[in-house]
Amino acid sequence: MNRFVRLFTIGAALVFYCNICLAEDMVQVKGSDTLINMVQKLSEIYMAKKPGTAIAVTGGGSGTGIAGLINKKCDIANSSRQIKSSEVEDANKRGVDPKRVVVAIDALSIIVSAQNSVDKLTVDQIGKIYRGEVKNWNEVGGNDLPITLYGRQSNSGTYDFMKENVMLGEYSPNLKSMNGNAQIAEALKQDASGIGYVGVGYAKEASGIKVLKVATKPGATYYDPMNSIDVKNGKYPITRPLNQYVNGTPKGAVRNFIIFELSEEGQAIVEKEGFFAIPGEYQAYNDQTLGITGTVRDDPMRPKDLGVNDGIG
């Protein structure tokens, strides 16, 4: 009898908690490893301010996030790259209409071990290194040491962004594919011969590594991704928007959370997490996605018309 009482109590408690879960506004956020810490922080602060909303942030890579949005497994897809036209087609086929919001600006940072004597590279040199054409540090002004390539797995938006905007070619087959930004930073701490790339938020907090200065071409000025003025002026060559994709014009809890992310307070958190606040052009773009100015732009894939440095091309 005692056991029945206990079982009944547990059952009742479960029903009670489930009711709470259902009563709350659940927002599922999924995708980019570059954005995860920042969005996690934003969601924690937002949830503390707005009890009744539950936001779950998970990773898996930009490709996984966008696939989740297309398969309706998440409400917001974090993505460090832009959605591909094939993905838009796939989404439309399933009745999903991906809309883009830019939540932060990232200066993709090229990092090496703290022991490496090289402290600057041109975009062309970075491309050659990752394509496997330059194999030794002495070819780019360093010691005689073979280069070990660290990068991300193919489900990563950063992997695609590097390939399409910096390398302009295919990765060397010797690339070590790591699981996330933190794993790359950790590997470079130990490997004196390594080179890697991470979001600037991760470059700032990691220790035992060196962040390289980058120039567009030989003879041009080298800029530091951690200098917020150079990044915001668009002088640092490898900057990119960090995006969130939603299905259609966002409503309800999703919309409220996005508005919080884009607010002054939200953008202050973005900067505190090591990334950069979005400039005015993107704010106007986001307003359109959110339907704030009335007309909603149909094509979410045209950042270049906005006059913001969206890569290096």
**Minimum CB distance to other proteins, residue 173 (Å):** 4
Indicate the pairing of strand 194-198 with strand 213-215: unpaired
CB of 29 to other proteins, least distance (A): 16
The torsion angles phi and psi of 307, rounded to 5 degrees, stand at 75, 15
Which of 2, 85, 86, 295 forms a contact with other proteins (CB under 8 A)?
Answer: 86
Binding other proteins (rule: CB under 8 A), the pick from 44, 97, 133, 170 is 170
Could you say which of 36, 38, 42, 67 contacts other proteins (CB under 8 A)?
67
Q: Does residue number 33 form part of the binding site for other proteins (CB under 8 A)? A: no
State yes or no: residue 143 binds other proteins (CB under 8 A): no
Q: Is 133 in the site for other proteins (CB under 8 A)?
A: no
Phi-psi region of 161 (alpha: psi -120 to 50; beta: other; left: phi over 0): alpha
Minimal distance, residue 80 CB to other proteins, in Å: 13
Question: Is residue 139 at the binding interface for other proteins, with CB under 8 A as the rule?
Answer: no
Q: How far apart are CA 111 and CA 194, in angstroms?
A: 8
Distance between CA 304 and CA 22 in Å, rounded?
41
Tell me the C-alpha to C-alpha distance, in Å, between residue 25 and each of 16, 39, 43, 215: 16, 17, 13, 46
Distance CA 181, CA 32 (A): 10
Q: Does 175 bind other proteins (CB under 8 A)?
A: yes
Instruction: Considering only the stretches 37-45, 62-70, 217-225, 283-291, report the one whose residues sit in contact with other proteins under the rule CB under 8 A.
Output: 62-70
Binding status of residue 184 toward other proteins by CB under 8 A: no
Which of 105, 178, 184, 212 lies at the binding interface for other proteins (CB under 8 A)? 178
**Are the C-beta atoms of residues 137 and 118 closer than 8 Å to each other?**
yes
Residue number, 62 or 267, with CB nearest to other proteins: 62
80 binds other proteins, rule: CB under 8 A: no
Strand extents, DSSP E, 117-251: 120-122, 148-152, 176-178, 194-198, 209-211, 213-215, 239-247
Kindly indicate which of the ranges 165-173, 204-212, 226-234, 302-310 contains the residues binding other proteins, using the contact rule CB under 8 A.
165-173
Angle between helices 252-262 and 280-289 (to 10 degrees): 170
Site for other proteins, rule CB under 8 A: 60-61, 63-64, 66-67, 86-87, 90, 145-146, 148, 153-155, 160, 163-164, 168-170, 172-179, 183, 186-187, 190-194
